[in-house]
Amino acid sequence: MAARKNANMTQKQAQAASGVNQSSISKIERGDTVRSANMLALARAYGADPHWLDSGDGPPPWDPAYIAHARYLLNEPTGPYRVSHIPPVSPAFNPNTPGTVPVITWEDAGHWGVRPASQQSKPERWIPCIAHHSLDTYALRMRGNSMTANNGQLKSYPPGSLVFVDTRLKTPEDGQRIIARIDETSEVTCKVFKHEDGKRWLLPLNPRHDPIRDAFTVLGTVIGKWEDED
């Protein structure tokens, strides 16, 4: 019934669209019919996954992940092989899919774990993270060039690359990359954590940027990154 209502159809309209008798549709919706051969026809009429309609497993047709996938397949020709003439969309994952993390904004990173869930912004998307990580891990898209190292010298974090940040790792070792919040300005930044002779400071990889020696709070440690090929 939920799939039919999502398609904005009455049972009579569903009958016209699928060829399945209204009485059979009514029985399916009441649960009187199990694994009906009519499920495929109804799934096509409702724009739903037949497996979901039959078993309830997988994303429903109103789920954002299913909608994105459906749009990707919309204009592909039928047949044993599918040939796409448009670039594929980014992989879509349901929120909290095992092994994935949310891509969040820098502003949200400054309040991660502090704001109630109702005040958190919706992530840009969820992406896989193959590094071992806690459930309190997110991804950030790098901005600016303070962490862009000279070619061939150090691991670099150019603008647009994604870094994976585990917020349970708040006691980094000297030389680790971290996400920090400057206490005085509340600015959130990614830098190299330095701790020598009892002093802590933040070091950029780009020599054109100055070290930050103001007081700061460690928000998390970078555990990996993703960078597109040129």
Select the more confidently predicted residue: 15 or 94. Answer: 15
Domain ranges for the chain: 2-61, 100-226
User: Which tokens hold the place of 187?
Assistant: 């600015």
Give me the pLDDT at residue 12, please. 85
Query: What span, in angstroms and rounded, lies between the C-alpha atoms of 168 and 221?
Result: 8
> 2-61 sits in which CATH class?
mainly alpha
* Structural tokens at position 69: 């996938």
Sequence-separated (6 or more) residues with CB below 8 Å from residue 31: none
Instruction: Please report the pLDDT score of residue 184 as a whole number.
Output: 95
Q: What is the pLDDT, as a whole number, of residue 152? A: 67
Judge whether 193 and 178 are in contact, CB under 8 Å: yes
Predicted confidence band at 82 (pLDDT cuts at 50, 70, 90)? very low
Q: Give the number of other CB atoms < 10 A from CB of residue 89.
A: 10
Q: What would be the CATH architecture of the domain defined by 100-226?
A: Ribbon (2.10)
pLDDT, the chain, mean: 80
What span, in angstroms and rounded, lies between the C-alpha atoms of 46 and 44? 6
Q: Are 193 and 218 in contact (CB under 8 A)?
A: yes
- Please state the pTM of the whole predicted model: 0.60
DSSP 8-state symbol, 89:
P
Which candidate, 8, 105, 3, places its Cα nearest to that of 63? 3
- Over residues 183-195, the pLDDT tens digits come to 999 999 999 999 9
Which residue from 153, 224, 162, 222 is spatially nearest to 192, judged by alpha carbons? 222
Above 70 in pLDDT, residue 222?
yes
Q: Please name every residue paired with 138 in a beta bridge, in sequence order, or none if there are none.
A: 165
Residue 34: predicted pLDDT: 54
pLDDT in tens, 7-49: 778 888 878 877 788 888 788 777 776 555 677 677 777 677 6
- How confident is the model at residue 83, as a pLDDT? 47
Chain length of the chain: 230
Whole-angstrom Cα distance, residue 125 to residue 118?
17
- Per-residue pLDDT band for 108 (boundaries 50, 70, 90) equals very high
Cα torsion 181, 133, 203, 201: sign: positive
188-196 β-sheet, strand order: 126-128, 100-104, 137-141, 162-166, 216-226, 177-182, 188-196, 199-203
d(CA 183, CA 166): 20
Residue with the larger pLDDT of the pair 60 and 66: 60
